Structure 1
């Protein structure tokens, strides 16, 4: 509080006033209620445990807080939603405590070197070679959850389509009927998702999304996969890619032309694509392309 107050900035002053207001509402609560808010605070910031739907995780949404705390809830909503702002994130007092978001992005793209969105696998994101950074997604939406709007474990760069067209304020932790599992963006182990597809016919020129069936695995991740598909419109986007004139249909035309020119057979091409998909699954959308060509072969295209 002292470091913010002595910053002598408008945003620092606003921060201090909001904290004082929240403290005044909070300090008069019974001890058991204070303990409950502490558990909610800790639970809402344990993003990994929330995603695994761990037993005993004390998470809370604004709408779940009892109406007896309406004044305090309203104060928390205003504070935590406004906390994620460029003015505050650039404030020296805050940077000293949590680090700089631009440094966080640099660390992220130092690992994600392909410039591919980690959520959909097909959208592009700005790499380390760009001066600008990609927008961050609040995995647990700041409009729904208090306490974690500037927790970097709840913030992940996403492509524009994932962030602004599909996920928006969808809730990974809750479906319409209750709690659910979701992929944790900062998991230390990779999630290996299997993709198989079936085509209803082999007339590529007339292929529509309704002619494509996608199967995702493994079964052990079925709940996380269902959440992922719903959050990011995965099936719609993958199918649209396969049926696009300059995507799936173009892949097939290009491949057939190359066979004729080079005198190659389909198996040679598929063997090469298999190696590329294993080594560079996200380059040129190889993971999607490989499953598509396998489905084309099964459907009798070649």
Structure 2
């Protein structure tokens, strides 16, 4: 009896199994290859013929290798909802100064101390309204009853509530030069501006600089030009260039050293009567028309 190695036995068993499987053809994959075999050719030959053609037991007859299914077109999506971009409102442009005449002051109010009282007397603008008091300070302008209306003294808030002005010119500060710090005084000035703006929402407000004193007066008293300059710089910062403007009046009457010209003043603080017209004409060059 012949002796076979285990490998030969395995090959023989495998061949027999393949032959039987191919002959039975349970999947139908080998049908055409079995039909083509000769009468005495073992069925396993059909297995190898099919393998050459790329056909295997798991191949389904008559069905090609599946192609990947195409990805269906995505349904159109609604457009992404984006909140509209609302542009910032443009800033109110800075108003430009324009030349005006006396009629511009028909609806103007001048608020101030003895400087403005002199302007009332000598500038020739009788068509304007004046709320003035000698020795008036910023603090008193807000708190005290110093304006006479209908035979009685009223506060600035009360007086401003009686009518609307188109322009308000303010000149205050010389009477408190020896008191407060510049910052504290400027805070009082801002309170005054807030009051005027509350009562006169549509008015153009002009902050006029504190006038310098003569060099002699500056050197010998608390009316020092260095302090005046410091305070003018502080109130200039309160102007926004839109509805509130700062007007520097000192170049009108200053000498080469930045002090009030001695020949323009009798007391070292106020200008003489003939020079108020120059102040008025200066204001003519700085009108603001909304």
- TM bucket (normalised to shorter chain) is under 0.3
> What TM-score do the two structures reach when normalised by structure 2?
0.20
> What TM-score do the two structures reach when normalised by structure 1?
0.19
The structure that is helix-richer by fraction is 1
The structure that is strand-richer by fraction is 2
